[in-house]
Amino acid sequence: MFKTRLCELLQIQYPIIQGGMAWVATGELAAAVSAAGGLGIIGAGNAPPEVVRNEIAKVRAITDKPFGVNIYYMSPFIEELVDLVIELQVPVVTTGAGNPGKHIARFKEIGTKVLPVISSVALAKRLARLGVDAFIAEGMECGGHVGDLTTMALVPQIVDATDLPVIAAGGIADGRGLVAALALGACGVQIGTRFICAEECTVHPNYKQAVLQAKDRDTILTGIQGHEVRVLKNKLTRKFLELAQTGASPEEFEALGAGKLRLAAVEGDVENGSVMAGQVAAMVSKVQPAAEIILEIMTEADEVLKRLGALY
């Protein structure tokens, strides 16, 4: 099977990164993905440092392969999390919801690779000057927090704007998506929603079942413009839509959404909780081991490339 620039950069077998989903991307899932040849990511979210420390320990107890931690820059523990990642010499950091610029030098001192999640060319150019190692260009098809551009539109623009490796994210669940990303100039993909249904993912079974039952138009954007979140439709999303019609303040939206991801992911309330998932949820049809997911994606990608090659 083929290797790309991303494999060389991160010392992984396959050009697949698992998304750093808060409350979903635990040490068990990250370890399984890394052991299978991809790059597993722990989603730190708003978790305190000791919780993240325990998740890192889980990964290292299972595999010695490279892994990463996603740092959420709106976390109240951001500085402590940066210190923790540096203390434990985590090989890779992905970042979201903020600019990691002030911490990049510290990460680079210990050899940690820095991969910010971005949704615009302007941010890519700014971060390239600060010394990041690659970009995760995430289109609005993704689950969770979204930007304004689709993956198809965003990725080639980021590729043209920088010489750094680009990882495509958003709307990718299989080998066809991987090949499409490569055609756009990316050197790998980040996949989140499909890994929700990995056997090793510790999310509540109700959450997995909600993804498995999703149809093509079952996701929706909720929240205020500029801070929207893609989730599966349920009672909570109807409340968000009702709130939007009243001209509610950002504080009211925040209050409605507080704690709702944990409610769905940990407690299993998929009607009143926030079931974050991307538009590819309808393409996820079964629960299977992470290694099997990765092998299926790579096998299909090989088949697609051969089929395309036969056109010439």
Please report the pLDDT score of residue 225 as a whole number. Answer: 75
Query: Domain locations in the chain?
Result: 11-202+285-309, 205-280
| Reported pTM | 0.93
Please report the pLDDT score of residue 93 as a whole number. Answer: 97
In which element (H, E) is residue 51 found?
helix 49-62
* Integer Cα distance of 17 and 6 in angstroms: 10
DSSP 11: T
Please report the pLDDT score of residue 101 as a whole number. Answer: 83
Please report the pLDDT score of residue 254 as a whole number. Answer: 87
Please report the pLDDT score of residue 188 as a whole number. Answer: 98
Please report the pLDDT score of residue 97 as a whole number. Answer: 84
- Amino acid at the residue 280: V
pLDDT tens per residue across span 282-295: 999 999 999 999 99
pLDDT tens per residue across span 237-251: 999 999 888 888 888
Please report the pLDDT score of residue 227 as a whole number. Answer: 80
Helix axes 49-62, 27-35, angle to 10 degrees: 30
Residues 6+ apart with CB under 8 A from 111: 89, 91
Query: Can you identify the CATH homologous superfamily of domain 11-202+285-309?
Result: Aldolase class I (3.20.20.70)
Please report the pLDDT score of residue 2 as a whole number. Answer: 85
* Integer Cα distance of 22 and 26 in angstroms: 8
Consecutive 10-residue averages of pLDDT for the chain (312 residues): 92 97 95 98 94 97 97 92 96 90 91 95 92 96 93 97 96 97 98 98 98 97 85 95 86 89 96 97 98 98 94 86
Please report the pLDDT score of residue 170 as a whole number. Answer: 97
DSSP 255-301: HHHTTHHHHHHTT--TTTS--B--GGGGG----B-HHHHHHHHHHHH
Please report the pLDDT score of residue 198 as a whole number. Answer: 98
Q: Do 128 and 166 form a contact (C-beta atoms < 8 A)?
A: no
Q: Which of helix, strand or coil describes residue 102? A: helix
Give every strand in the sheet of 16-18, ordered side by side. Answer: 16-18, 188-191, 166-169, 135-138, 113-118, 92-96, 67-72, 40-43
For 64-85, give the secondary structure using H, E and C.
CCCEEEEEECCCCCHHHHHHHH
Please report the pLDDT score of residue 296 as a whole number. Answer: 98
Please report the pLDDT score of residue 114 as a whole number. Answer: 96
Mean pLDDT, the chain, rounded, equals: 95
Please report the pLDDT score of residue 99 as a whole number. Answer: 84
